[in-house]
Chains A and B, each alone.
Chain A
Amino acid sequence: MSSNEQPAPETAENTMADVSSPRRPPVPDEPELRSEIAAQGPEPVLDLRPEKGFAHIRHAARDFRDGFALFRLGWTLGWLDIKLRYRGSMLGPFWMTISTAILVGSMGVLYATLFHIELRIYLPFLSFSLILWAYLNTTVSDGCATFTSSSGLIHAMRMPFSLHVLRVTVRNFLTFLHSVGVIALVFIIFRIAPVPDWQIPAGLVLWGTDLYAITLLTGVLGARFRDMPPVTASIMQILFFVTPVLWKPDLIYAGRQYMLLDPCYPLIEIIRGPFMGLSVRPSIWLVAVLYSIALWIVSFSLFARMRARLAYWV
């Protein structure tokens, strides 16, 4: 350390003209930084070679661990993404809340009339389903660009890939929160109360982990295949009509047993039921958990297999 003095306070340097200012110490003293870096332990060792066998899984697991250790960074990145989206906008996030409210309101009245269902029953159902579906849909479509949109960051320094997944998950969660107010309002107006039992926290945890896994899966596929966005868009379009989002599941009589083949149905039902104060059949819970396990196995093994190649693709 060449000197202990603090750098001179900034003079008004508003011009592009530059730094011919008097000589400052090249590296000022930073006791806090020094002690924190020292506290991080001995110097890290980076040992890279082609992965064989279980090394894939070990390295992927380490990537997850490192990624979650950087939770603060992931959260900040996701938060800044949302903040930047509204820079220069007047109503900012309320645009989304307003448009969701208008969509739910107009579709609610129209479809309640078409299906001959009382508005009092249909509107809370529709608001909850539509907003939840929008969340799922954004996760799938944004997920495709998880790694490709962070290519600058990926090529700039080595960081855990799961951090980018975390960032997109946080961003989508914050986007979803914009519309929660609409659900709350509708529920208050029509006096719908959730059943407070184990199902709500369990459902939220399952959703959280599943959305993370979906982002990971579509992210890896989207990095390799650039036609993922249109493919997922059309799959989600079909699923939207097949899944009971617009229509209530008790409207269907023939072929009810096939409904569980649609992975979105149990996933939506386990969270919609408890929140709307309806009971959920155990079979639906079972299928939802099975689908989630399958989803995690597929996305984790794909990630483990392809992790080292991601930087080559983006």
Chain B
Amino acid sequence: MASVDVSGLTISFPLYHGDARSLKKTLGGALNRRALSGRFAQDNRQRVMVQALTDVSFSLCPGERLGLVGRNGAGKTTLLRALAGIYEPVKGRVLLRGRIGSLLDTSLGMNPELSGRENIRLRCLFSGLSEKAIAEVEQDVESFAGLGSFMDLPLKTYSSGMAVRLAFGLATAIMPQILIMDEWFMAGDASFIQRAEQRIAGLVEGAEILIVSSHMPEIISQWCTRLIWMEQGRVVMDGPTEEILHAYLSAEQ
């Protein structure tokens, strides 16, 4: 059974670039006037740290579809990356059971110089699949993404919608139990979004847990069973979709 458990997760980025001391002074001065100081801290070596996530805790059961909402810079992408195991926690704990499929980076973790087929192969090799299984995945992704002869052309010749279809098809083909998606993937058109939803629903034993961040209320309310509203790297509200979405949208206006 897939499950996600996050407790007291804190993530902070050190700022190495430029003169940290003078940056600290500038920021310190600016921050005292505005109430932003929660985002900046200092570690014990006097380095300035950006507090990306502070004390985030939640857990998900199989079947839950979590949406993350919040403004730009609220820490949604950082949280998704921490869940995918890319950023290891500075404090707290992240515990995931299940195969993880992630659609995070805008480059999709693919090489733009390589063809769609080659990129599929690489992803399959990462999952340790044999040639036979790779052929199956290739066929599956091909029929989902509908790229036709573009499959053998370099990724850089694709339109952004085509690249997204390929990446989504690939991430879902290897049957993840936990699927983590960032908001850029909504770059697809309406028909794609519809097909994507069907595909997720069609993964019977795959994608038992879906975690997605989005700015689009329609998609969120259609896809998610639970929402977390984030602000300044903290969880503001956590609960059923309707309730949180209503509170979030009315706060934004």
Closest to B146 in A: A19
Min distance, Cβ B45 to any Cβ of chain A, angstroms: 13
Q: With contacts defined as CB atoms under 8 Å apart, how many contacts are there between chain A and chain B in the complex?
A: 176
Q: Pick the contact of B143: A7, A33, A76, A158 (CB < 8 A).
A: A7
Size of the chain B interface, CB-CB below 8 angstroms: 76
Min distance, Cβ B253 to any Cβ of chain A, angstroms: 33
Is A1 part of the binding interface, using a Cβ–Cβ cutoff of 8 Å? yes
Residues of A within 8 A of B87 (CB): 311-312
A157 to B171, CA, bound (A): 11
Residues of A within 8 A of B81 (CB): 155, 311
Contact call A26/B202, Cβ cutoff below 8 A: yes
Q: A19-B195, A40-B128, A46-B95 are in contact. Are A152 and B105 (CB under 8 A)?
A: yes
Is A45 part of the binding interface, using a Cβ–Cβ cutoff of 8 Å? yes
Closest to A71 in B: B125
Is B55 part of the binding interface, using a Cβ–Cβ cutoff of 8 Å? no
Residues of B within 8 A of A76 (CB): 121-122, 125
Q: Pick the contact of A43: B139, B162, B177 (CB < 8 A).
A: B177
Chain B residues 46 to 69 lying within 8 A of chain A, measured CB to CB, are none
Q: Pick the contact of B14: A25, A30, A73, A312 (CB < 8 A).
A: A312
Contact call A73/B125, Cβ cutoff below 8 A: yes
Contact call A44/B99, Cβ cutoff below 8 A: yes
A154 to B84, CA, bound (A): 11
Contact call B125/A30, Cβ cutoff below 8 A: no
Is A70 part of the binding interface, using a Cβ–Cβ cutoff of 8 Å? yes
A312 to B13, CA, bound (A): 7
Q: Pick the contact of A14: B94, B149, B177 (CB < 8 A).
A: B149
Residues of A within 8 A of B97 (CB): 43-46
Interface code A9-32, partner B: CB below 8 Å = 1, 0 otherwise? 011111010111100111110111
Residues of A within 8 A of B2 (CB): 43
Is B22 part of the binding interface, using a Cβ–Cβ cutoff of 8 Å? no
Is B130 part of the binding interface, using a Cβ–Cβ cutoff of 8 Å? yes
Contact call A32/B130, Cβ cutoff below 8 A: yes
Size of the chain A interface, CB-CB below 8 angstroms: 58
Contact call A48/B89, Cβ cutoff below 8 A: yes
Min distance, Cβ A60 to any Cβ of chain B, angstroms: 12
Contact call B142/A84, Cβ cutoff below 8 A: no
Contact call A156/B102, Cβ cutoff below 8 A: yes
Residues of A within 8 A of B165 (CB): 19
Pick from B107-115, B218-226, B227-235 the stretch touching chain A: B107-115
A51 to B102, CA, bound (A): 24
Chain A residues 67 to 97 lying within 8 A of chain B, measured CB to CB, are 69-70, 72-73, 76-77, 80, 84, 87
Is A159 part of the binding interface, using a Cβ–Cβ cutoff of 8 Å? yes
Min distance, Cβ A8 to any Cβ of chain B, angstroms: 8
Is B203 part of the binding interface, using a Cβ–Cβ cutoff of 8 Å? yes
Min distance, Cβ A167 to any Cβ of chain B, angstroms: 11
Is B18 part of the binding interface, using a Cβ–Cβ cutoff of 8 Å? no
A225 to B204, CA, bound (A): 46
Is A49 part of the binding interface, using a Cβ–Cβ cutoff of 8 Å? yes
Is A255 part of the binding interface, using a Cβ–Cβ cutoff of 8 Å? no
Is A308 part of the binding interface, using a Cβ–Cβ cutoff of 8 Å? yes
Residues of A within 8 A of B148 (CB): 10-14
Q: A24-B144, A45-B97 are in contact. Are A159 and B201 (CB under 8 A)?
A: no
Residues of A within 8 A of B92 (CB): 49
Q: Pick the contact of B161: A18, A33, A77 (CB < 8 A).
A: A18
Contact call A154/B85, Cβ cutoff below 8 A: no
A2 to B200, CA, bound (A): 12
Q: A46-B96, A156-B105, A159-B126 are in contact. Are A26 and B143 (CB under 8 A)?
A: no
Residues of A within 8 A of B125 (CB): 70, 72-73, 76
A51 to B114, CA, bound (A): 37
A152 to B88, CA, bound (A): 17
Closest to A225 in B: B16
A10 to B84, CA, bound (A): 34
Residues of B within 8 A of A158 (CB): 84-86, 100, 102
Contact call B93/A49, Cβ cutoff below 8 A: yes
Residues of B within 8 A of A21 (CB): 146
Is A50 part of the binding interface, using a Cβ–Cβ cutoff of 8 Å? yes
Chain B residues 156 to 209 lying within 8 A of chain A, measured CB to CB, are 159, 161-162, 165, 172-175, 177, 189, 191-192, 195, 198-199, 201-204, 206
7 contacts between A and B (CB under 8 A): A18-B189, A27-B202, A33-B174, A51-B88, A155-B105, A158-B102, A311-B87
14 A-B pairs besides A43-B98, A84-B111, A311-B81 with CB distance below 8 A are A7-B142, A11-B148, A19-B145, A19-B165, A30-B133, A30-B173, A32-B130, A34-B175, A48-B85, A50-B91, A154-B86, A155-B81, A158-B100, A312-B87
